[in-house]
Chains A and B, each alone.
Chain A
C-alpha cells in the first residue's frame, strides 16, 4: 500500500514557461510518485492551471502514473485510450507546455466567461449607483437621518449579498420549492392545508431550512419572502426566545390581523409590525438554548396555529432539540454549493473590486472554506486591504490560515494516526500537528490507540517476508506496547495527586504518536480484517469496579467467620465454597436448596451474594456455564425458599436502615442456626 515516495524531494519543480501552462487540461493521478506525495503533485497541477479529477474518464487529458497504480484506473485508461505520463513526463509538461491560446474553443470559452463576468459586474455597479442616488435623494428630500451606510464602508458580505434569486449560489431546486410554497400560501391557508400541491409542501405551515453556515440560507429565505410579497420578520439568536416570549412576541397565534384591523401600527413585543403579509423567519433555531426554555416547543405550538408562513433556519439537522420541529415543518436541506457555482459570483465581485484573482485560486479558497461564501468574501476583503492580486501559493496559505477548525472524533483520529499516510516519508504533518490530533480528545484517543494499535499491517515491514517479517513485526509491537505502558505512567502523573498538566504533550507522544509511528499502515480503518473498535477498557473497568464493590460487601458480611482479606476471599474461599453453595444446585437441582441455604447462613451470605459468587467465577465456573446447568425452577426455588425464612445477618448497611430490620445483628461468631431453618 501507499507508503509514500521513496525519494522525496529528489526532483526539483521546473520553472514553467507559462504560469498557466496546464490550463484547459484535466489530470488524474494514480499510484505513488517517487519524488512527490500525491498532495504535492495535485497542487502542482492545480497551480499551473490544470484540473485534477479523481476518476479517469474519456475527457481526461492525462493520467499520471506512479508505482502501484490502482487496477481499476489502469482498466479505465485502457478503455478510454488515455494518454499516460510518468513523473518525469509530468514535470516535463510543466516545463515546456504553452497553452494554446489560439485554440478557438478555449479562446471562446475564456472570452465568454470574461464577458459574463464583466456584464455581471456592470450590473452590480449600476445597482449600487441607483441605491446611492436613492439615498441621496432621500437625504435631500426629507432631511432625514438615514441609517444606510455609504456603500464603500459596507462589509463586502452585505454589499454583495444577492439581490435576486439568480444571484444566490447553488441550491436552486430548494429555493424554487420555497418560493412555490410561499406563493401558494394564501390558497393553502384557505384550504386549511389539505392540498399537498406540486411539491407536497402545501400541507405544512412552516419550513425548516438546514445546512452548514455561510451558504445563503438566510439570504434565500429573505429573498423568497420579499419576492412573494411578504414582509419578513426575522427573529434570531440575539432575540430572547423563551416560551413566553415566542408566544407573546409573535402574536400570530390568536389574531394575526389585530394590528391591521385597528388601523394603528400595532407592534409586538419584538418591536416588529405584523401584517397579514408578514412572514416569520426564525433564524438559528438550534441556538435556542438553555436560556430559552421551552422555546422550541412553543415554536411548534405556534406553527400548528399560525396564519402566516414561518421559515425556520438551523445548522444542524440532527440536533436533539430540533426533533419536534422536524416533525412539524417541511424540511428543506441546503447543501454546500459546488465550487463552480460560487466561482463565477466570486470572480464577478473580484473583478468589480479590481482584484486580480485567478480562477484556480478562487477554487482553492472555496475548497478551503468548505463552500462558505461568506468566509471567502471576508478573506478576500481582508486581503484587499494590502494587496490587489493573489496567486496560487498565497491563496493556499490564506485558506490554510482560515481553515475551519473541526473537532474530530477519536475514531477519526485513530484512523488518521494508524493510517498509512500520517507517518509516510512525504507526510507534511509535523510533530505538533500530530499532537494536535491527540488534543482533539486527550482522554479517549489513547484508549482508542491501545484498543486498535495491533490491527494494522505495518508499512515498516511491507518489504520483508518470512520469519524476518514476523520477528520485525513482533519487535515493532513490543516497542509500541512499551510506549503505551510509558504513556500510562505519564497519565498517572497527570492525574495523580500532583497533577502535572504540563506533561500532556509527553503523554501525547508516549500514548499516541510513538505507538502509531511503529505500527502505522493499512488495515484497521483502511480495509483490513479487523475494523477499528471502541475501547473495551471502559466497559471492563466499570465491570471490575462493580464486582469489586460486591466482593467487598461480601467480605464484610463474611468477616465474622473468615479472617482473610478480599483478595484471599476471591482466590481461595470462593473456589472452595463453590462446591458447597453452587455445585449442588447444578447436580441435584431443587433438592439441594436446603443444604445450600444452610451453608450460606453459616457465612452470613444472602441471596445477592449468591449471585455475586456465581458472577465472580471464571473458566469452568464462569457464570454463563454455571447458570446454564441450573434449571430456572431450581433458581426460583432457591429465591423463594431463601425469602421465606429469616436468616442471620452480620450487620445492616447504613443505607438499609430506612427499612425495618428483620432481625437484630447476630451477636457472637456463631450464628444461632435453629432460628434459620
Chain B
C-alpha cells in the first residue's frame, strides 16, 4: 500500500481536479498534430509533473505508463564518468540533469543528439517524435541552456522537449521564447480541500469536521503534496480526524525552529558557535541552505518586534544570494546569524537604555 499521495495521483487529464481550462488546453494541444516544445512552471507541489504525465498519456496512450529506469554512463571531456538515471518508456524519457552538477551540458548534448538521430520504431505509435522531459530545468547551467537552445531548433522533426521548472527567472530568454509557457499555479485552499475530500471518499471514510481539512490546506501553503502527506499522517495518528488537531511539522522544520529560538534567546560568541553546530547538522542532512535560512528567518521574524522584521528579512535576502554565488554555505548562514544577533541586541538595549534616561 503506497502513500495516498501516490495512490490517488490522477493518471489522465480528465481526472485532474483543478485548473480545468489548462487541462482543456493541454488536451487540445495533444490532439492537434502540432505539438510544441513546452515549459511547465509553478511552485513546488502544484502538480506540474502530474500534468506532464497526463499530457504524455493523452499524446501516446497507455504506453507511457510502462516505465523503466536506465542508468546511463557519460564521459566528460576530462574523462570523468557520469552516471545518469534515465526514466523512460517507449515514447518518452525523463532526465534530471542537475544530478551531475556542472557537467549537465555533456549529458544534454549527448543524450538529445542520440534521441534525435533515432526514429520511432513502433509503427503503432501515434506520433513520430519522442518527448524528452527535463526536470529541474531552472538549475541547468548557462552552458547547458545554450546547448539546449540549439538542439531545440535542430531536432524539431523527431523530438519535443518538455521542461519542468519552479520558476522561469533562471532560464535564458531564447529557451523561453522557443517553448510554449504553461503556468501551473498552486491550488487554492478550496481546491485542496476538494482533492482531500476526493481522497477520503476513495479511502472510504467521511470527513466529519471540515475545519480540520481547511486547517491542513492552510498550513500546506499551496503545496498539495504536503497537504496530502499531512492529511494521511493525521488520519493515521488520530483515526477520526475530529476536534482540535496539531499539525506535526517534519523533523527538519522543528529543528530549524529550535535554531531560530536559540538566536532570539541569547546573543554571544558561544551561542553563535552552538548555532553553527546545528546548522552543520541541517546542511549535512541534505536540507537545502535556502530552506534552512528561510525557515529560521520565518521563526525569528515571528518572535521579534515589528520594527526589526524588515531588517532581518533584508539580510536574509542578502545572504541568500551570497550562498548561491559562494561555495561554503555555512559562512553566509553564520554571517546572517551574527547579523541578526547584533540587530536584535542593539534593539534590546536601545529600549532598555532609552527607558533609563
Contacts and interface: CB of A to CB of B under 8 A. Distances in A.
Given A477-B269, A572-B229, A603-B2, A619 B255 contact: yes
Interface in B1-24: 1-3, 6, 9
Given A616-B286, A620-B251, A562 B345 contact: no
Interface stretch (A288-296, A313-321, A407-415, A484-492): A484-492
A567 B83 contact: no
A571 B349 contact: no
Interface in A535-583: 536-537, 540-541, 543-544, 547-548, 551-552, 556-557, 559-568, 570-580
Contact of A570 (B50, B254, B286): B286
B53 A488 contact: no
Nearest to B143: A497
A676 to B, nearest CB: 13
Interface in A456-497: 467, 470-471, 473-475, 477-478, 481-482, 484-485, 487-489, 491-492, 495
B67 A668 contact: yes
15 contacts: A450-B328, A454-B272, A471-B342, A477-B338, A478-B342, A489-B322, A489-B325, A544-B286, A560-B87, A573-B229, A618-B281, A618-B285, A654-B83, A667-B66, A668-B65
Interface in A326-371: none
B349 A487 contact: no
Contact of A576 (B3, B72, B99, B268): B3
A485 B286 contact: no
Contacts of A475: 342
Contacts of A536: 276-277, 280
Contacts of A544: 283-284, 286
A244 B50 CA distance: 72
Given A474-B338, A556-B85, A537 B328 contact: yes
Contacts of A450: 328, 330-331, 334
B288 A567 contact: yes
B136 A653 contact: no
B68 A665 contact: yes
Q: From DSSP, what is the main secondary structure of chain A's interface residues?
A: helix
Interface of B: 1-3, 6, 9, 44-45, 49-50, 53, 65-73, 83, 85, 87, 96, 99, 135-136, 223, 225-226, 229, 232-233, 236, 250-252, 254-255, 258, 267-270, 272-273, 276-277, 280-288, 291, 319, 322, 325-328, 330-332, 334-335, 337-339, 341-342, 345-346, 349, 352-353
A493 to B, nearest CB: 9
A575 B1 contact: no
Nearest to B99: A552
Contacts of A540: 280, 283-284, 330
A195 interface: no
A156 interface: no
A471 B65 contact: no
A129 B128 CA distance: 105
Nearest to B232: A576
Contacts of B272: 454, 477
Interface string A601-623: 01100000000000011111110
Given A470-B345, A602-B2, A650 B69 contact: yes
Interface of A: 450, 454-455, 467, 470-471, 473-475, 477-478, 481-482, 484-485, 487-489, 491-492, 495, 530, 536-537, 540-541, 543-544, 547-548, 551-552, 556-557, 559-568, 570-580, 598-599, 602-603, 616-622, 650-655, 665-669
Nearest to B327: A492
A666 B67 CA distance: 9
Contacts of A454: 269-270, 272-273
B331 A485 contact: yes
Nearest to B52: A563
Contact of B49 (A491, A552, A563, A602): A563
A478 B83 contact: no
Contact of A471 (B70, B281, B327, B345): B345
Q: From DSSP, what is the main secondary structure of chain B's interface residues?
A: helix
A474 B267 contact: yes
A320 B352 CA distance: 62
A256 B70 CA distance: 71
A524 to B, nearest CB: 11
Given A492-B327, A548-B286, A572-B225, A485 B322 contact: yes
Contact of A652 (B71, B223, B281, B285): B71
Contact of A618 (B50, B282, B339, B352): B282
A553 to B, nearest CB: 9
A471 B81 CA distance: 52
A470 B268 CA distance: 8
Given A482-B338, A572-B225, 8 more contacts: A544-B283, A561-B2, A562-B6, A567-B288, A570-B287, A575-B250, A576-B233, A599-B1
Nearest to A664: B68
A495 B327 contact: yes
B285 to A, nearest CB: 5
Contacts of B268: 470
B69 A484 contact: no
Contact of B338 (A481, A602, A618): A481
Residue picked from A543, A565, A621, A622, most chain B C-beta under 10 Å = A565
B63 to A, nearest CB: 11
Residue picked from A477, A537, A561, most chain B C-beta under 10 Å = A477
The 6 closest A-B pairs by CB, nearest first: A575-B250, A651-B69, A481-B335, A563-B49, A485-B335, A488-B326
Contacts of B328: 450, 488, 491, 537
Contacts of A621: 251
Contacts of B68: 651, 665-667
B334 A481 contact: yes
A477 B327 contact: no
B225 A564 contact: yes
A619 B352 CA distance: 35
B286 A577 contact: no
A619 B252 contact: yes
A616 B319 CA distance: 26
Residue picked from B3, B96, B255, B352, most chain A C-beta under 10 Å = B3
A543 B327 CA distance: 16
Nearest to B329: A488
A618 B255 contact: yes
B283 to A, nearest CB: 6
B228 to A, nearest CB: 9
A631 B252 CA distance: 25
A564 B252 CA distance: 18
Contacts of A575: 229, 250-252
